[in-house]
Amino acid sequence: MALLKFNPSRMGMTVTLVKEALGAHNFLQDNDEKVQSAPAQVQQRFLGVPDKDIQFSATGAVKGHKVLKQVDSTGDSDDNVVSVPTSKGGIRRKHHRAWTLSEVMKLVQGVSRYGAGRWSEIKRLAFASYSYRTSVDLKDKWRNLLKASLAQISSNKGINSRKNVTSMRIPEPILLRVRELC
């Protein structure tokens, strides 16, 4: 007989239960970014990643497919961590979460509204749904954006130096605004 029973260990359920148990708060909250030409079916966001910058292959299939992993227990997920030997024998971990375009845009807008330097405010308002990205991160990113904006102004020859296929290039309008707000 078909017992019609479900598998609690089927990950999806497990994740939910785990999150419940851990008292995890908000994931499906404040999903910005309007994935423009994405089929509604695949627009379902991926837990914990509000803005995975979903991309599509030529066939239209979702490329940013992300099998939900164990989900962060409370924000300290060991995502992209690389162990780096410190100069004094210690071992430190370095996380890395690539900044998406929408994140950059939020940052820029935040600075335009509250002014550069008000990182905590910007963090609370524009980045309320991002558990990671601390005010320090915003500050660091802004520092990089400034550098990028300057690097782009002097030479518009090679819009992006090298065959840099990695990391998204920031649209010029954004960089220009960065300059202004500097």
Partner DNA sequence: CTTAGGG
Partner DNA sequence: CCCTAAG
> Applying CB under 7 A, which residues contact DNA?
87, 92-97, 99, 116-121, 123, 132-133, 135-137, 139-141
Could you tell me the smallest distance in angstroms from the CB atom of residue 102 to DNA?
14
Could you tell me the smallest distance in angstroms from the CB atom of residue 139 to DNA?
6
Query: How many Å apart are CA 166 and CA 96, to the nearest integer?
Result: 14
Is the Cβ of residue 71 or residue 122 nearer to DNA in the bound state? Answer: 122
Is the Cβ of residue 5 or residue 93 nearer to DNA in the bound state? Answer: 93
Could you tell me the smallest distance in angstroms from the CB atom of residue 137 to DNA?
5
Is the Cβ of residue 39 or residue 115 nearer to DNA in the bound state? Answer: 115
Instruction: Give the relative orientation of helices 101-114 and 172-181 as an angle to the nearest 10 degrees.
Output: 30
Instruction: Give the relative orientation of helices 101-114 and 135-154 as an angle to the nearest 10 degrees.
Output: 100
Could you tell me the smallest distance in angstroms from the CB atom of residue 148 to DNA?
13
Is the Cβ of residue 38 or residue 121 nearer to DNA in the bound state? Answer: 121
Q: What is the DSSP string of 105-150?
A: HHHHHHHHHH-TT-HHHHHHHTTTT-SS--HHHHHHHHHHHHHHHH
